[in-house]
Structure 1
């Protein structure tokens, strides 16, 4: 698999990354081991987690998987801070004390002495930005973190954090911005993508298949074992199952049929080559799904297909 530099930094990642939000939820440890093995066998390197995943169990699960396989040095390990679990509740706290405690806990859970990428997983308007940045500087200068990034911030906050960090004497600067981005969720192109272009950041795209909708599996109904069949997921799935989304999926399926490849491969190839995208983070339940998605590496979309998909998926009110 090809690797890419993350923005203007020296950090290199595989252009398909592995998101592990399902580890300990939809995939048990045995399945997670097989998923990571398949990912690495396919040339993948970037593995992304967070303290809040699996109600606080996700990092420990991933740490156990990496230790079992003995592959810590083979992955670019990314985690997050700010959002965490405290006394069974999800909290959002960007204070220096909270962030450094989260870092120590993440390193212990993951069984490593450093993170390759540590990302602000949201915004805390109760804590001064300068205090948050000081925690990141301590993390980097102590060697426990190699690079820092943002996650789920709008364009203006992405720019504010980068500008403020670079203006500080010990500022580390950010290298990446992680946001939800797909053919069905192109809102980052309004602010976040221009910000990353201007600031020299690499974009990490989560949910690149729009929670599975861009695989085409919902086109003729809702599979009983899918997230869309679970009422708890309705708020997350419904925006991608409306009439406008259906038109995009129809065009995607026609393109996939014409190219004789899977719809997911077309969706990933389209996203992979958008401006500033360093990696698309996919989440899977089985190693077979992982292997199937990695085959998108061999797909290159003709310009006319890209243009057609751009047109049909372009948000109303502005040009892509």
Structure 2
């Protein structure tokens, strides 16, 4: 598998990442072991998790597999902190919470450091500079190698990345008063969700922040398996994941899925491969994060490695899935 630089850092990661959202809940240890080994054997390195996935169960499961099943040095472990199971306040990115969460993640993962530590979401109740100082502390202490954010809007990402770059220019990360540049931002991005193209992606490109797309298959809908009905073994049929899939089962999404299926037929590949190749090769994208239920599904996703979509196919898919961007994105002189 090819590798790419993560933003403007020296860290190289596989251009496809493995997501662990369902590990420890829907995905047991045997299935997870099969997924991780299949991914590693294909040359994959980037494995993404979070401290709240399965209430910490995903990190525990990944920790049990690291070192024993695959060498720890071969895996770029990315985790997140800041999301809390509290209905009154979903996010807490205070220094106290973040650094405590990092220590707990390291204990569950059974490792001294994580390669990429990400703020799970923007917290409007905590000053942004306090949140970013927690990232700097984690890097300076060696508990994290690189830092990123997740689910930040365009202005939030631009403010955070610019704040960090000002510190880098003023003395460099690891020096007195220095700060570490943001390596990445993780956002949902697919042919069914192109909202990041409005402001997040332009900010990331300008500031040298790599994009890690989550749900690159439109929460599974872009595989085409929901075209006729909801398969009983799918996430769409799951009591706790059905609401996650439902927004992408409307008529508009159906037109995009039909276009993907037509392109796949013409190229003699699968809709899954077309959808993944499209998002993987978008400007600014470092590595889509794929969450597969079993090794067979993951193998199917990894088969996209040898596929590059023709320009005319990309353009057709761009056209059918294009989001509506008017003022101020549209040239004001044409309004």
Structure 2 residue runs without a partner (length 5+): 168-176, 331-335
Counterpart in the other structure of 1:239: 247
Mapped partners of 1:176, 1:82: distance in 2: 16
**Pairwise CA distance, 1:67:** 3.5
Counterpart in the other structure of 1:144: 143
Structure 1 residue runs without a partner (length 5+): none
Residues 317, 100 of structure 1: alpha-carbon distance in 2 compared, 3 angstrom cutoff:
closer
Mapped partners of 2:257, 2:207: distance in 1: 33
Counterpart in the other structure of 2:78: 78
- Worse overlay, 88-97 or 218-227: 88-97
Q: 1:280-299 CA deviation, whole Å, 9 max, x = no partner?
A: 00001101111111000011
Matched, 1:295 2:295: no
**Pairwise CA distance, 1:208:** 0.2
Mapped partners of 1:95, 1:197: distance in 2: 27
Counterpart in the other structure of 1:304: 312
Residues 45, 90 of structure 1: alpha-carbon distance in 2 compared, 3 angstrom cutoff:
farther
Mapped partners of 2:324, 2:125: distance in 1: 35
Residues 198, 78 of structure 1: alpha-carbon distance in 2 compared, 3 angstrom cutoff:
same
Q: 1:14-37 CA deviation, whole Å, 9 max, x = no partner?
A: 111000011112210011001000
| 1:122-161 mapped onto 2 (5 Å cutoff) | 122-161=121-160
TM-score between the two structures when normalised by the length of structure 2: 0.91
Mapped partners of 2:48, 2:240: distance in 1: 24
Q: 1:81-124 CA deviation, whole Å, 9 max, x = no partner?
A: 111458x9984211111111111111111111111100010011
- CA RMSD, 1 decimal: 1.7
Q: 1:234-288 CA deviation, whole Å, 9 max, x = no partner?
A: 4322221111100000010010001001110000000011010000000011011
Mapped partners of 2:303, 2:293: distance in 1: 17
Contact kept, 8 Å, 2:25 with 2:57, in 1: the verdict is no
Counterpart in the other structure of 2:24: 24
Q: 1:139-160 CA deviation, whole Å, 9 max, x = no partner?
A: 1111111110010111110001
**Pairwise CA distance, 1:316:** 2.6
Counterpart in the other structure of 1:162: 161
Contact kept, 8 Å, 1:114 with 1:144, in 2: the verdict is yes
More relative contact order in 1 or in 2 (CA 8 Å, sep 6+)? 1
Counterpart in the other structure of 1:171: 179
Contact kept, 8 Å, 1:52 with 1:90, in 2: the verdict is no
Q: Secondary structure at the match of 2:287?
A: strand
| 1:243-282 mapped onto 2 (5 Å cutoff) | 243-282=251-290
Mapped partners of 1:190, 1:94: distance in 2: 25
Counterpart in the other structure of 1:213: 221
